[in-house]
Structure 1
Amino acid sequence: MVSKKKDEIVLEMAALKGLAHPLRVAIIDVLSAYGAATASTLAERLGESSGATSYHLRQLEKHGFVREDTTRGSGRERWWERVPRPISLNATELGPTSADREASDLVMAEWQRNRQKRLAAFLAHGLETVGKEWIEVSGVSTANVQLTLEQMNDLTEELAAVVDSHLAKYRNQKTPGARPVQIHVDVFPIIDGVEQGGDVSGSAKDEQ
């Protein structure tokens, strides 16, 4: 299963391997963005068979990522929803060539690929799809600043608190006019930047 810390799903190795399949990551992404769905609905959206989505939903349920939405459906169909907790993936202790690291890299790569695909679609087709008003209140921006380790930790925690407060306020709302909105907050050091007061000597590390 998974271990919990501050209401997060912190992946242990069995659960990480249970998630490490492109279709399972895609299913989690769709349920996160659009809410509960049936295996057939997921299959149609993802271009897969309902048999495939049903199988992978059962695997995700086994590891605690999804659950049946018993408020919907009938005896003929089951609705599935993502378990509403953040998923935390920490690969810092994994060997660079281990099977566990390979599983971690696959999950991270699929998350990133799906994020980039959605952002590219918004930039290319947002105006004609959602209209001027939604474009005007959207934001795609990059900021650069020199930070110490402690300062970056403070920034990360403050940004997470702002996002969490909005998730708690609006999660599962049924307000007319609401539509799926995806939030990206990226905070990371530039790897080839020079540390203030130091140098760039030493070996490089690739850690997630």
Structure 2
Amino acid sequence: MDENEKPRERRVLGVAELRALGHPLRMRIFDILSQHGPQTSSTLAELTGESSGSTSYHLRILAKQDLIREIPERSVGRERWWERPRGQTSWGDTEETRTPAGRAALQAATSEFHRLRNEDTTDFFTRRVDREPEEWRDVSSSFTTTTRMTAAQLGELAERIEALITEAGERHRDQEGDDVRVVSIRADLFPLSPLGGAS
């Protein structure tokens, strides 16, 4: 089995990595590499509307934190190709993020993460869905429900959903074909604020 095919353990990001991802353009670059595969600073410039000098600078910052890596065998001359290594990343409540600096870095990265995902979701369901072929319109969904659960029950549900999503991701990650597209699979689980409580 190739090294890139081996399942990688989940990487819990520290403050330095979170600071890197807290920048809007760096989070966007990280997403593009995750979703669409290897890119150069020039192709990223075209996709983001930024200059190649700017994307190159931000690529180096992401690489410094080992969030992305260069692909030496594809890089020729000044054209350097970059990819996001396989494997899950996560961030949350750790000893490092309980400090004031850690909390600020976590909040910035989390805010940017959700801003981009909300932007993608809104763009699809308000502007792009009607232009999609019928077979893609029929299977594109946004589900939500409200119920009453304990923390243990929500944790069990989260584990089941994560296992299902992870299994689908691993099974289809390298699939190719005329009818294959990159898709996003998401799940948000969290307790609501009490009525009259602080938001």
Which TM-score band (shorter chain)? Answer: 0.7 to 0.9
Distance 1:129 1:66 in 2: 33
Give the Å deviation of 1:148. Answer: 0.8
Which residues of 2 match residues 68-79 of structure 1 at below 5 A? 68-79=70-81
Give the Å deviation of 1:34. Answer: 1.5
Which residues of 2 match residues 1-208 of structure 1 at below 5 A? 7-91=9-93, 93=95, 94-95=97-98, 98-192=100-194
Code of the aligned partner of 2:88 = P
Distance 1:109 1:11 in 2: 15
Distance 1:129 1:75 in 2: 40
Q: Deviations over 1:18-70 (max 9, x none)?
A: 33322111111111121111111111111111111111111111111111234
Give the percent of matched residue pairs that are identical in Structure 1 and Structure 2. Answer: 38
Code of the aligned partner of 1:175 = G
> Does the Cα contact within 8 Å between 2:22 and 2:108 map onto a contact in 1?
yes
> Does the Cα contact within 8 Å between 2:20 and 2:62 map onto a contact in 1?
yes
Q: Which has the higher contact order (CA 8 A, sep 6+)?
A: 2
* Larger helix fraction of residues: 2
Bigger mean CA offset, 98-107 vs 83-92:
83-92
The alignment of Structure 1 onto Structure 2 pairs a total of residues equal to 191
Distance 2:131 2:47 in 1: 18
Task: Evaluate the alpha carbon distance shift between residue 168 and residue 123 of structure 1 in structure 2; reply closer, same or farther with a 3 A threshold.
Answer: same
Distance 1:37 1:151 in 2: 41
Distance 1:73 1:172 in 2: 22
Code of the aligned partner of 2:190 = F
Task: Evaluate the alpha carbon distance shift between residue 71 and residue 159 of structure 1 in structure 2; reply closer, same or farther with a 3 A threshold.
Answer: farther
Give the Å deviation of 1:163. Answer: 0.4
> Does the Cα contact within 8 Å between 2:26 and 2:59 map onto a contact in 1?
yes
Q: Secondary structure at the match of 1:160?
A: helix
> Does the Cα contact within 8 Å between 2:70 and 2:83 map onto a contact in 1?
yes
Q: Secondary structure at the match of 1:75?
A: coil
Give the Å deviation of 1:128. Answer: 4.1
> Does the Cα contact within 8 Å between 1:95 and 1:101 map onto a contact in 2?
yes
Q: Deviations over 1:122-151 (max 9, x none)?
A: 112333432221010111111111111111
Give the Å deviation of 1:92. Answer: 5.8
TM-score by length of structure 2 reads 0.86
Q: CA RMSD in A?
A: 2.3
Distance 2:168 2:146 in 1: 25
Distance 2:180 2:193 in 1: 39
Distance 2:78 2:33 in 1: 20
Q: Secondary structure at the match of 2:82?
A: strand
